[in-house]
Amino acid sequence: MAKDKTPSDVSKMIKDNNVKLVDYKFTDLLGTWQHFTTTLSEYNDDVFADGLGFDGSSIRGWKVINASDMLVIPDAATAWIDIFNTEPTLSLICTIVDPITREPYDRDPRGVAEKAEAYLKSTGIGDTAFFGPEAEFFIFDEARFNYTGNACFHQVDSAEGHWNSGREEFPYLGYKVRAKEGYFPVPPMDTLQDIRNEMSLELEKAGIPVDKQHHEVATAGQAEIDVRFAPLKRMADSMQYYKYIIRNVAKRHNKTVTFMPKPLFGDNGSGMHTHISIWKDDKPLFAGNGYAGLSETALFFIGGILHHAPALTCLTNPTTNSYKRLVPGFEAPVNLAYSARNRSAAIRIPTYSASPKAKRIEFRTPDASANPYLAFSAMLLAGLDGVQNRIDPGDPLDKNLYELPPEELAEIASVPDSLRGAIEALQADHQFLLRGDVFNADFIANWIDMKQKEYDALRLRPHPYEFTMYYDV
């Protein structure tokens, strides 16, 4: 998505591509795209200033029955020809505002991201926050699940899953990916190279530059497609297009994609390692003469992330399933430490390049079930709080944290081990999110209420494995 598109550029796109329909997309509180579509009779350049009205009363997390009339304000910079519609359709991402006051709706995630970027500038610390997420996901052949009062089941499958090593395939040729051995195999072991290539090329056609794509560690089609870093809001927009394009390319091939953090037992889950850097006047602020070539600003930023990480997880790892990935001693970094090159630390300082422009931190705890607008904004606010209050991140830990003896490990703080723990952490620590009115008290209270209901929904239901453990008690 070119950031410099104007309304007149969009009108030219409509003419050049014989567009017949315009699709207006916006994000609900939990991070899922919603949309409505108009014909060209409802479109003109004024829509970028005046917006279009809609009923917001049924959008998840909004609950605005008494003030449900809202406006979508489309952003010309996000214009894209939606290739998954039969008729030529222009797609636009929108921010939500009140139709009377014209103020941003405080539960609109994209509006939160806009306020986060404005707050960064107001601090004088920097003017641009760059984010580079590495989202992982599974490409399955099938996903089935159901829950009733007396029964439940789930089943996901992939032809390359190691459990299919005895399946009749007429003929069976082998080439199944063993558990935890899916990192970088070539075809024919890697059966999804062409699909990932297609996903990557469609992302680039949409204006989202791709760094690399590859099979990930787990069996059964785990994948990663990395995109080039971008400013906060633009990257969150790109992540919404990213999920949409990847899911729909998979559907072309009669496959299904999930960003669920832990869909398989006994193999790696899917994270979203997130690279962050702050710039001012086109100069990187994280490069310096400190540990791993970091500046004092970068080290204090790390201090803020580590200090607020338990509360952050309620936004960066917002599902009950997230905490089946965040398990000490397994694949996810749960220990709140930082290190150069060490991937067992929650924050890593990449060392691929000595260039000051490449200097960044990598927060490895988040997963892609997060709403990117909210997660990126919260990470930024936590880091800025570290800079403003000069929060010392402590000494780096260059040991393998997965192999530390229990007495040493007990001295290192860790993220919560459940969504309930994350909720409690956010309840106790959210003042940093209220700076600049990026989030507000109503938003936090509403988010906590939604997350508690999700936690309760799982807590109240019998789990299938409980029958294995307890049926004969």
pLDDT in tens, 159-203: 999 999 999 999 999 999 999 999 999 999 999 999 999 999 999
Catalytic residue among 215, 273, 325, 430: 273
First to last CA, the chain: 59
Q: Are 225 and 203 in contact, with CB atoms under 8 Å apart?
A: yes
- pLDDT at residue 341 above 80? no
Q: Is 111 left (phi over 0), alpha (psi -120 to 50) or beta?
A: alpha
Q: To the nearest 5 percent, what fractions of the chain are helix, strand and coil? A: 35, 20, 40
Q: CA 16 to CA 10: how far, in whole Å?
A: 10
The tokens for 331 are 């694949």
Query: Is the peptide bond between 462 and the residue preceding it cis, with omega within 30 degrees of 0?
Result: no
- pLDDT at residue 3 above 60? no
Q: Are 387 and 300 in contact, with CB atoms under 8 Å apart?
A: yes
Give the pLDDT confidence score for residue 68 in this predicted structure: 78
Catalytic residue among 360, 364, 385, 430: 364
Q: Look up 110 and say whether it is catalytic.
A: no
**Closest alpha carbon to 3 in 208, 210, 276, 246:** 208
The tokens for 397 are 């830990």
Give the pLDDT confidence score for residue 397 in this predicted structure: 87
Catalytic residue among 28, 82, 190, 216: 216
Enumerate the β-bridge partners of residue 335.
Answer: 414
Phi/psi at 430 (5° precision)? -140, 5
Q: Look up 55 and say whether it is catalytic.
A: yes
Catalytic residue among 134, 226, 331, 385: 134
Torsion sign, CA atoms 454, 432, 134, 111: positive
Phi/psi at 135 (5° precision)? -85, 135
Q: CA 19 to CA 111: how far, in whole Å?
A: 28
* Whole-number Cα distances in Å, 82 to 17, 43, 174, 186: 11, 16, 38, 32
pLDDT in tens, 210-265: 999 999 999 999 999 999 999 999 999 999 999 999 999 999 999 999 999 999 99
Catalytic residue among 75, 117, 136, 367: 136
Catalytic residue among 28, 202, 362, 385: 362
Q: Look up 454 and say whether it is catalytic.
A: no
Give the pLDDT confidence score for residue 157 in this predicted structure: 97
Q: Is 386 left (phi over 0), alpha (psi -120 to 50) or beta?
A: alpha
Phi/psi at 231 (5° precision)? -60, 155
**Closest alpha carbon to 325 in 456, 417, 247:** 417
Catalytic residue among 45, 55, 403, 466: 55
- For 92, other C-beta atoms within 10 Å of its C-beta total 24
> Which residues lie closer than 8 Å to 409 by C-beta, 6 or more apart?
328, 335, 401
Q: Look up 107 and say whether it is catalytic.
A: no
Residue 346 buriedness (CB in 10 A; 0-12 / 13-18 / 19+): buried
Q: Look up 204 and say whether it is catalytic.
A: no
- pLDDT at residue 124 above 90? yes
Q: CA 61 to CA 66: how far, in whole Å?
A: 14
pLDDT in tens, 81-104: 999 999 999 999 999 998 888 988
Instruction: pLDDT band for 402, please (50, 70, 90 cuts).
Output: low
Q: Look up 307 and say whether it is catalytic.
A: no
Q: Are 213 and 224 in contact, with CB atoms under 8 Å apart?
A: yes
Q: Are 225 and 246 in contact, with CB atoms under 8 Å apart?
A: yes
Taking the CA of residue 56 as centre, how many other CA atoms within 13 Å lie in the half-sphere pointing to its CB?
27
Taking the CA of residue 398 as centre, how many other CA atoms within 13 Å lie in the half-sphere pointing to its CB?
5
Q: Are 321 and 260 in contact, with CB atoms under 8 Å apart?
A: yes
- For 223, other C-beta atoms within 10 Å of its C-beta total 25
- pLDDT at residue 2 above 50? no
Q: Are 49 and 11 in contact, with CB atoms under 8 Å apart?
A: no
Q: CA 19 to CA 12: how far, in whole Å?
A: 10
The tokens for 182 are 């899916």
Mean pLDDT of the chain: 94
pLDDT, mean of residues 21-45: 96
pLDDT, mean of residues 429-449: 97
Q: CA 380 to CA 121: how far, in whole Å?
A: 12
Torsion sign, CA atoms 350, 266, 160, 203: negative
> What is this structure's pTM?
0.96
pLDDT in tens, 288-314: 999 999 999 999 999 999 999 999 999
Q: Look up 134 and say whether it is catalytic.
A: yes
Q: Are 175 and 159 in contact, with CB atoms under 8 Å apart?
A: no
Residue carrying structure tokens 């939604």: 450
Give the pLDDT confidence score for residue 1 in this predicted structure: 45
Taking the CA of residue 175 as centre, how many other CA atoms within 13 Å lie in the half-sphere pointing to its CB?
14
Q: Look up 178 and say whether it is catalytic.
A: no
Catalytic residue among 9, 35, 214, 343: 343
> Which residues lie closer than 8 Å to 465 by C-beta, 6 or more apart?
none
Q: Look up 169 and say whether it is catalytic.
A: no
- pLDDT at residue 392 above 60? yes
Query: Is the peptide bond between 284 and the residue preceding it cis, with omega within 30 degrees of 0?
Result: no
Catalytic residue among 75, 160, 224, 226: 224
